[in-house]
A and B are shown apart, each in its own frame.
Chain A
Amino acid sequence: MSVVLTDTQEELRRTVRRAIEEHHGAERVIEAAEPGAGHDDTEVWKALAGIGVPQIGTPESGTGLLDLGLMVQEAGRGLLPGTLLGHALAQRLLLAADGAAEPLTETEAGGHRLAASWGLDPAAVNVEADGALRGRAGAVSEGRQADLLVLPVTTATGTAVACVETGSLAFPADPACALDTGRDWTATDLDGVPARMHRLEPEALRNVLIEAAVLLCFDSLGSAERCLDAAVQYAKERRQFGQAIGGFQAVKHLLVDAHVAVGNARSVTWHAAAVFDSGAADAAFSAHVAKAVTDQAHVRTTATGIQVHGGTGFTREVPAHLHARRSRINERLAGTPGEHLEAMAGHLPAVLAEWSGAPDDRNPAE
């Protein structure tokens, strides 16, 4: 599905971009990523909540994964810490679970902040007989700032989505991922922690895993776009040998290759979300392709971002490294590119028949 955004979607994107620039602009991004600065994004979150961003993606609002993803793309562009991204995953988990719409509305109304565990492995946390959780919630971003942590868990009878008050959690002081200094990644042990539980059917869990992969693609896409824009801008301004460095083909062609890769990432990411929203059969295939293609584009583009900035790119005064750091963790969350390619292989028989007019596979039809 080739996606063309509606005027409403474009307008919302612009509004959100402005809000992010105003409340968490370039300087704030660099400041918040300094050691000990705490990644506080409360102010920008309030601003986003004020314009209704947390409701985007819910059925009541008449919007879906694409609309939500476009918001996450803006968060990626603005290099926001993880609040919006975490909220997005938590929302998908709650929407997928039985009877969890209520806590979702409650949190929205109360201005509560949601965080989610990107570990997304229900086997990592078990529900004990007394209803308390035991295990480890991995890959939580901005958990310290959130009110509620949402994660899939294993119960006696299947899987569920658990909602834990973060007040009952002890987040360790050390980050769980020291590489991505732009976000506050934590992992926390759940030692008999109380939680509210909502049943999650296996099918619904599979869908959430797809949504998680696609949401990360949006984050990576936004980050890659912004990093490229900054590198192009720098290449127009920085002069060496009496000319702007963007005039050197070695630099120009590097930027063009990144531009092409980012364009492809945009195509596959938007497509994956739109296909998911449409309920079409190839939603999983599209998500696998999207994650593999977008991760690769993000990693390469952000490396280009540093290279084009030269020595400046090696300083913390420009955010190129924050984009690069983000690319290295995003590719490890919700399935690595290799895992997604492998999962994609499972869908090939149907897809290849469509592409080549010849049915796959081991038994070519005459």
Chain B
Amino acid sequence: MSGPFDGDHARAFRRELRQWFTDNLPDGWGTERFAPHADEDAEVRFLRSWQRTLYDGGWAGISWPAEYGGRGATLLEQAIFVEERDRVKAPFDIGIVGTQMVGPMLITFGTGEQKERYLRRILTGEDLWCQGFSEPDAGSDLAGLRTRAAADGDGWRLSGQKVWTSRAQHADMMILLARTEPVEDVPHRGISAFAVPMDGPGLTVRPLRQINGSAEFCEVFLDEVPVAADALIGRAGEGWKVALTTLSWERFATTRAFEMRRLAAQLWTALPDDARADTDVRTRALGLLAQAHAGGLSYQRMVSTVTAKGEVGVDASAGKLFTTELGQRIVDLALSVLPPDDVLGEVRPGNQGTTSWPLEWVNGFKNTIAAGTSQVQRNIIGERVLGLPKGGAR
């Protein structure tokens, strides 16, 4: 027998993609020869152009219909793409909110006109999207959000504040959740989703400094920002469905299965001989490699399930939870046993194609918070997969 990732079709796809990466990765990629970018703007320009390169090569929107610029393949091919991308540590997806979350969500919820307007521009890198969900008082408890959308003529006016909005300062569009009706007994009701241009009047962005040395996420202030009627995604008051779908795709995209496999491999490769000879270190490192392999296989099994079902739902939570926590365990060991020069350097964004252990360490904290914390993933799995009650002490 052969599994879905091992058939002739999958193998041919993988071969073609590997060759494409070999031919198209920037010169010197993966070595110190590839110079870090002078500043964030330069990096964003580089990543947008990388997205364009992917699009031109036919590797953007792999599971999206061809009519919107996608490849018209399935999530299986998308998963193979992720595996190969992470294998060579190719430039990361700067447009992840658009390419992995908003795009698939719009394919489900968007009107024909909205799909026409937004989808292809996401794939070409022309439009970067950001995610305006979290607010100062609404993180895990997202339904507690207070940003308001008031009807104004044909359109709406948006007021409130978003926070931790990644790359808002570079984004062209934001998917925003706001209240169109006051909170009553069910907080999830009365929330609506909007596609908001970032250059509208009354919208200001203030970058926050992060512990990894960048200023990726921002505060976004909305002061009576006008948007047109067709900025509404889905029906008014039914934005929660839009939010949950977007979040499921986010978990799907932030399952770091193959990234962890590579990281565990790099840790093993970097272990000095005396560390490898130490029974405790050796067993832990080998155990992490085994777990990383398991994470990759579970990811593939999840993708097979999700492809058959045609929707992501809660299936992606386990992988997101497992791989992000595994990543922390891998880096924990690296920081305790690798030579000081490898691990005690400055935490700063650097050459993307290579691995900086201090940076991996700090970013490990992000991975178990963003896209829903590990605790929240456990609640989701416990309640929606295992069917356990919500309970009072939550």
Residues of A at under 8 Å CB distance from B? Answer: 1-4, 6, 66, 232, 235-236, 242-244, 246-249, 252-253, 255-257, 259-260, 263-268, 270-271, 274, 277-278, 288-289, 292-293, 296, 338, 341-342, 344-345, 348, 351-352, 354-358, 360-362, 364
B339 lies within 8 A of chain A by Cβ? no
Chain A contacts for B273, CB-based, 8 A: 362
A4 touches B385 (CB 8 A): no
Q: Knowing A246-B388, A260-B318 touch, does A253 contact B283 (C-beta < 8 A)?
A: no
Q: Knowing A252-B379, A344-B289 touch, does A247 contact B318 (C-beta < 8 A)?
A: no
B297 touches A292 (CB 8 A): no
Interface of chain A, main secondary structure? helix
Interface residues in B306-346 by Cβ distance below 8 A to A read 308, 318, 321-322
Question: Hey, what's the 0/1 contact readout for B98-134 against A, CB within 8 Å counting as 1?
Answer: 0000000000000000000000000000000000000
Interface-facing stretch out of B54-62, B227-235, B248-256, B260-268:
B260-268
A341 touches B389 (CB 8 A): no
Interface residues in B361-390 by Cβ distance below 8 A to A read 375, 378-379, 381-383, 385-390
Q: Can you list 5 A-B contacts with CB-CB less than 8 angstroms, sorted by A residue number?
A: A4-B308, A255-B382, A256-B382, A260-B321, A355-B87
Q: Knowing A66-B1, A357-B30 touch, does A256 contact B378 (C-beta < 8 A)?
A: yes
B87 touches A247 (CB 8 A): no
B73 lies within 8 A of chain A by Cβ? no
Which of B265, B287, B382 sits near A253, CB closer than 8 Å? B382
- Bound-state Cα–Cα, A345 to B264, Å: 13
Q: Knowing A260-B322, A345-B286, A364-B269 touch, does A253 contact B4 (C-beta < 8 A)?
A: no
B1 touches A293 (CB 8 A): no
Chain A contacts for B308, CB-based, 8 A: 4
B12 lies within 8 A of chain A by Cβ? no
B291 lies within 8 A of chain A by Cβ? yes
- Bound-state Cα–Cα, A327 to B210, Å: 45
Chain B contacts for A235, CB-based, 8 A: 388
**B314 shortest CB reach to chain A, Å:** 12
- Bound-state Cα–Cα, A266 to B294, Å: 9
- Bound-state Cα–Cα, A68 to B185, Å: 53
- Bound-state Cα–Cα, A358 to B318, Å: 29
User: Which residue of B269, B294, B393 has the most chain A CB atoms within 10 A of its CB atom?
Assistant: B294
Chain A contacts for B282, CB-based, 8 A: 345
Smallest CB gap from B381: residue in A: A256
A-B pairs, top 6 by smallest CB distance, nearest first, are: A247-B391, A2-B300, A246-B388, A267-B297, A252-B382, A356-B265
Question: Hey, what's the 0/1 contact readout for B265-301 against A, CB within 8 Å counting as 1?
Answer: 1101100010000000011001101111111011011
Residues of B at under 8 Å CB distance from A? Answer: 1-6, 30, 87-89, 258, 261-262, 264-266, 268-269, 273, 282-283, 286-287, 289-295, 297-298, 300-301, 303-304, 308, 318, 321-322, 375, 378-379, 381-383, 385-394
**B17 shortest CB reach to chain A, Å:** 13
B393 touches A247 (CB 8 A): yes
Smallest CB gap from B392: residue in A: A243
Chain B contacts for A342, CB-based, 8 A: 286
List 19 extra interface pairs beyond A247-B393, A252-B378, CB under 8 A.
A2-B3, A2-B301, A3-B3, A3-B301, A4-B3, A4-B304, A235-B388, A247-B388, A248-B393, A253-B378, A260-B321, A263-B298, A264-B294, A348-B289, A352-B265, A356-B87, A356-B262, A356-B265, A356-B266
**A5 shortest CB reach to chain B, Å:** 10
A259 touches B381 (CB 8 A): yes
Chain A contacts for B386, CB-based, 8 A: 232, 246, 252, 255-256, 259
**B308 shortest CB reach to chain A, Å:** 8
Chain B contacts for A256, CB-based, 8 A: 321, 378, 381-382, 386
Chain A contacts for B303, CB-based, 8 A: 2
User: Which residue of B265, B375, B393 has the most chain A CB atoms within 10 A of its CB atom?
Assistant: B265
- Bound-state Cα–Cα, A2 to B265, Å: 20
Which of B6, B87, B385, B390 sits near A259, CB closer than 8 Å? B385
**B258 shortest CB reach to chain A, Å:** 8
Q: Knowing A4-B4, A256-B378 touch, does A341 contact B293 (C-beta < 8 A)?
A: no
A249 touches B394 (CB 8 A): yes
Which of A252, A255, A338, A364 sits near B391, CB closer than 8 Å? A252
B301 touches A348 (CB 8 A): no
Chain A contacts for B295, CB-based, 8 A: 264
Chain B contacts for A257, CB-based, 8 A: 378
- Bound-state Cα–Cα, A293 to B296, Å: 13
Chain B contacts for A358, CB-based, 8 A: 265-266, 269
**B352 shortest CB reach to chain A, Å:** 14
**B375 shortest CB reach to chain A, Å:** 7
- Bound-state Cα–Cα, A267 to B299, Å: 9
B294 touches A352 (CB 8 A): no
- Bound-state Cα–Cα, A357 to B321, Å: 25
Q: Knowing A3-B301, A232-B387, A236-B387 touch, does A356 contact B269 (C-beta < 8 A)?
A: yes
**B357 shortest CB reach to chain A, Å:** 15
Chain A contacts for B300, CB-based, 8 A: 2, 267
Smallest CB gap from B286: residue in A: A341
B1 touches A355 (CB 8 A): no
- Bound-state Cα–Cα, A263 to B289, Å: 17
A292 touches B290 (CB 8 A): yes
B294 touches A246 (CB 8 A): no
- Bound-state Cα–Cα, A266 to B379, Å: 22
Chain B contacts for A236, CB-based, 8 A: 387-389
- Bound-state Cα–Cα, A264 to B383, Å: 20
- Bound-state Cα–Cα, A243 to B390, Å: 10
B1 touches A277 (CB 8 A): yes
A2 touches B5 (CB 8 A): yes
Smallest CB gap from A5: residue in B: B1
**A50 shortest CB reach to chain B, Å:** 26
Which of A66, A267, A355 sits near B294, CB closer than 8 Å? A267
- Bound-state Cα–Cα, A271 to B1, Å: 11
Chain B contacts for A266, CB-based, 8 A: 298, 301
Chain B contacts for A2, CB-based, 8 A: 3-6, 297, 300-301, 303-304
Q: Knowing A252-B388, A260-B321, A357-B89 touch, does A1 contact B3 (C-beta < 8 A)?
A: yes
B286 touches A344 (CB 8 A): yes
- Bound-state Cα–Cα, A246 to B388, Å: 5
User: Which residue of A242, A243, A263 has the most chain B CB atoms within 10 A of its CB atom?
Assistant: A263
B269 touches A289 (CB 8 A): no
Smallest CB gap from B88: residue in A: A357
- Bound-state Cα–Cα, A236 to B283, Å: 37
- Bound-state Cα–Cα, A267 to B304, Å: 12
- Bound-state Cα–Cα, A257 to B321, Å: 9
**B302 shortest CB reach to chain A, Å:** 9
